[in-house]
């Protein structure tokens, strides 16, 4: 069982996390990478790196043969799968054993038994652990599933049997929608996990999602590392996780912990794993959901409250070592909360964002941990999950941990792609969350319409204008003040000298700006109104300092061409600062309205085309299913009419902005 080199069959932040654990145990690490990840930080951090194929996961990180060959050629004796991809693939675990490689995780038999939600339900029932009423059969025939849906009743949840992370999950509130939602769930499950099998469960409304971290060895020892609350979710994907769970009745906590250990002991579990439960607050009842036979994304919060390195223990257990921890040795100290920073636009339906990171700076505070897989110039592609980093804050109390996390998020600087940073901060401020009374529907209720991004403050906008202007002067760029000649003499007469710009926001809106300088005092007028004044302003590297009302202040800045970003106490702002003549004296180009066309909102794979040429469609009807970042998005008809052109077919991979489908509106055909 001994090995000195570990190949990591994963990417991004979890690959870096495992590399750190290998280094701490004096083991060598081998990274594997696709075309898209050739310059990723984890590739350079490993002792060796092996290219395994094209960017699509199916051709690289899900290609078992290539990964096994990479392990053999690099001299690795073990493979750590991280989470996602092949982490819960029993076939892969068997393949490792057949090739003389140690799979760092539970046995293939355990993955097969507990990795299937259907099989795991049966094991839980055998163990005496309560389960959510539903349909957990291997019979996946359409007729059987339709009848089961009627028996379970609505609301019901369709779940992929082979996976998690919210993929392959669909909530059905009307049985008339069941067939369509079932089809989408099966396709998403097949795309994400290679298995279209699903189960049906009664949907427990306003429940809490509680999970227990388990460690088991190959000698029959099992311990728990307390529980985590993962109830803050969006579309069944976790957004905030914490340990321990707040406001959990002690009898419920004790019952859940005991049930998790009993279940793990019943199946002789032999690695790190997680037993997940749903807690019905109204009934004060808990139900077994599933067992994750792998490391969880949110494992850092457990490490922070226990001081135990879960990845180190995974490796030690895989080498045959027994647990040296008795249950009484494991103590819960303080509180830890994790937020998932993702490349997405919460204001536009949480649409994933792609592009190149132009500025990246992590917060550096005591008791703040950042698990990230990106850096300056990293490319965020559509091939993989949209998560950029995990921000973990620890405090002596829950309120202290929340304050620390909010502070850390405020100091996090990312430009080039949009993030959910301000959405997370708003979630942390929700009364339901701060009071610990949140549940799985909290976000849906709190943002019942849709989340609105905070508007940049006048001071932040003005500061961005000033930073951009000072940068132009410092770099010798040509600008309005550079061409004023003798007009600068007016400053000697106590008259301001003005420069004129246009702010262009991300949505294309323009705002006229006048920047006045009188004896070193800068005043910014937005659309003719005084917005802010700054004294003793100075741009120094990546920050701008100034005085306002006698108070000296400094803010972080990042300038990339005409794009100016400012990070200050008033909120982050990013603008495009243009010379006024470049906007109003340039030739105007007409733009197509596009009101009768469907465009790709981001690069992706056409999973399905739901309509055909000459078909009559109604506005809002789903016409195309696009797969991007492991999720399926239904694109809807913008108008009612007749489909005149379908430009892409299933299997095609359009780029962002590509014209997918055209509709002749009803008015045109009447």
Q: Would you name the residues annotated as active-site residues?
A: 294
Residues with Cβ within 8 Å of 163's Cβ and at least 6 positions away in sequence, in order, are: 88, 189, 192, 193, 195
Query: In angstroms, rounded to a whole number, what is the distance separating the alpha carbons of residues 433 and 430?
Result: 5
Please give the Cα distance from 71 to 97 (Å, whole number). 12
Summarize the chain as % helix, strand, coil (round to 5): 30, 35, 35
Q: Give dist(CA 411, CA 409) in Å, integer.
A: 5
Contacts of 262 (CB under 8 A, 6+ apart): 127, 128, 129
Do the beta carbons of residue 222 and residue 264 sit within 8 Å? yes
Instruction: Classify residue 625 as exposed, middle or buried by CB count within 10 Å of its CB (0-12, 13-18, 19+).
Output: buried
Place of tokens 């990312």: 414
Beta bridge partners of 7: 30, 79
Strands 5-8 and 78-80: parallel
Q: Check: CB of residue 629 under 8 Å from CB of residue 638.
A: no
The answer to whether 189 and 167 are in contact (CB under 8 A) is: yes
Name the CA radius of gyration of the chain, rounded. Answer: 27
Hey, CA dihedral for 351, 600, 163, 109, is it positive or negative?
Answer: negative
Question: How far is 469 from 463, CA to CA, in rounded Å?
Answer: 10
Nearest residue to 392 (alpha-carbon basis) of 17, 10, 12: 17
Peptide bond into 86 cis (omega under 30): no
If you ran DSSP here, which 8-state letter would residue 483 be given? Answer: G
In three-state form (DSSP H/G/I as H, E/B as E, the rest C), the secondary structure along 509-527 is: CEEEEEEEEECCEEEEEEC
Q: 3-state SS of 565-578?
A: EEECCCCCEEEEEE
The dihedral through the CA atoms of 297, 302, 303, 308 has a sign that is negative
- Alpha carbon 547 to its chain centroid, in Å, reads 38
First to last CA, the chain: 75
- Distance between CA atoms of residues 414 and 447, nearest Å: 24
Backbone angles phi and psi of 153, in degrees to 5: 80, 170
Residue closest to 212 by CA, chosen among 135, 156, 277, 148: 277
Distance CA 610, CA 621 (A): 10
- Residue given tokens 């990723």 in the structure block: 40
Q: Cβ distance 78 to 84 under 8 Å?
A: no
Task: Name the one residue in this structure whose structure tokens are 């979890």.
Answer: 14
Q: What distance in Å separates the CA atoms of residue 500 and residue 469, rounded to the nearest whole number?
A: 10
HSE-up of residue 263 (Cα within 13 Å, Cβ side): 36
β strands within 4-150, DSSP E = 5-8, 28-34, 48-53, 78-80, 102-103, 134-135
Largest alpha-carbon pair distance within the chain? 90
Token pair 């807690």 is found at: 279
Cβ atoms of 548 and 560 closer than 8 Å: no
């Amino acid at each position: 069982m001994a090995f000195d080199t570990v190949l990591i069959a994963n990417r991004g932040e979890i690959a870096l996390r495992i590399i750190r654990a290998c280094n701490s145990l004096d083991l060598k690490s081998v990274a594997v990478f696709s075309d898209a990840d050739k310059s990723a930080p984890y590739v350079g951090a490993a002792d060796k790196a092996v290219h395994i194929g094209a960017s699509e996961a199916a051709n690289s990180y899900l290609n078992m043969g290539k990964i096994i060959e990479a392990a053999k050629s690099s001299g690795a004796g073990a493979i750590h799968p991280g989470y996602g991809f092949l982490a819960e693939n029993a076939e892969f675990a068997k393949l490792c054993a057949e090739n003389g490689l140690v799979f760092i995780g539970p046995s293939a038999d355990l993955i097969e038994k507990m990795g299937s939600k259907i099989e795991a339900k049966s094991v839980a029932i055998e163990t005496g652990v309560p389960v959510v009423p539903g349909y957990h059969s291997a019979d996946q025939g359409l007729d059987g599933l339709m009848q089961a849906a009627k028996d379970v009743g609505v609301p019901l949840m369709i779940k992929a049997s082979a996976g998690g992370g919210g993929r392959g999950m669909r909530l059905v509130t009307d049985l008339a929608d069941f067939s369509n939602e079932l089809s989408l769930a099966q396709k998403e499950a097949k795309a994400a996990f290679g298995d279209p099998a699903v189960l049906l469960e009664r949907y427990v409304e306003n429940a809490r999602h509680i999970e227990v971290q388990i460690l088991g060895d190959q000698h029959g020892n099992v311990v728990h590392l307390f529980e985590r609350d993962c109830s803050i979710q969006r579309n069944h994907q976790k957004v905030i996780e914490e340990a321990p769970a707040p406001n959990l009745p002690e009898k419920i906590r004790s019952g859940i912990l005991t049930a998790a250990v009993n279940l793990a002991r019943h199946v002789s579990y032999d690695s790190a794993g997680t037993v997940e439960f749903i807690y019905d607050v109204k009934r004060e009842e808990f139900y077994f959901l599933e067992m994750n036979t792998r490391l969880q994304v949110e494992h850092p919060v457990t490490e922070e409250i226990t001081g135990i390195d879960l990845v180190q223990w995974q490796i030690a257990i895989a080498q045959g070592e027994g647990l040296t921890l008795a249950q009484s040795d494991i103590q819960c100290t303080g509180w830890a909360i994790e937020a998932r920073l993702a490349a997405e636009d919460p204001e536009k339906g949480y649409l994933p964002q792609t592009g190149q990171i132009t500025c990246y700076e992590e917060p550096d505070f005591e008791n703040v941990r950042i698990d990230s897989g990106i850096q300056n110039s990293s490319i965020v592609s559509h091939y993989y999950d949209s998560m950029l980093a995990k921000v973990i804050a620890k405090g002596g109390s829950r309120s202290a941990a929340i304050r620390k996390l909010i502070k850390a998020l405020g100091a996090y600087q990312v430009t080039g792609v949009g993030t959910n940073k301000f959405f997370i901060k708003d979630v942390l401020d929700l009364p339901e969350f701060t009071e610990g009374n949140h549940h799985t529907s909290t976000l849906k209720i709190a943002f019942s319409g849709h989340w609105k991004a905070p508007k940049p403050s006048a001071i932040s906008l003005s500061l961005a204008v000033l930073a951009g202007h000072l940068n132009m002067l410092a770099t010798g760029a040509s600008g309005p003040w550079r061409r004023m000649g003798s007009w600068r003499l007016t400053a000697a007469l106590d008259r301001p000298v003005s420069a004129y710009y246009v702010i262009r926001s991300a949505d294309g809106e323009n705002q006229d700006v006048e920047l006045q300088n009188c004896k070193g005092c800068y005043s910014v007028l937005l659309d003719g109104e005084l917005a802010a004044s700054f004294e003793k302003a100075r741009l120094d590297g990546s920050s701008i300092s100034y005085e306002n009302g006698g108070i000296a202040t400094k803010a972080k800045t990042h300038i990339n061409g005409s794009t100016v970003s400012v990070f200050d106490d008033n909120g982050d702002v990013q603008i495009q600062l243009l010379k006024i003549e470049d906007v109003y004296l340039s030739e105007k180009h007409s733009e197509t309205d596009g009101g009768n066309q469907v465009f790709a909102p981001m690069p992706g794979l056409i999973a399905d085309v739901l309509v055909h040429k000459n078909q009559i469609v109604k506005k809002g009807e789903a016409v195309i299913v696009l797969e991007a970042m492991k999720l399926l998005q239904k694109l809807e008809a913008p108008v009612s009419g007749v489909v005149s052109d379908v430009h892409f077919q299933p299997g095609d991979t359009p780029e962002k902005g590509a014209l997918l489908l055209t509709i002749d509106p009803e008015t045109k055909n009447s």
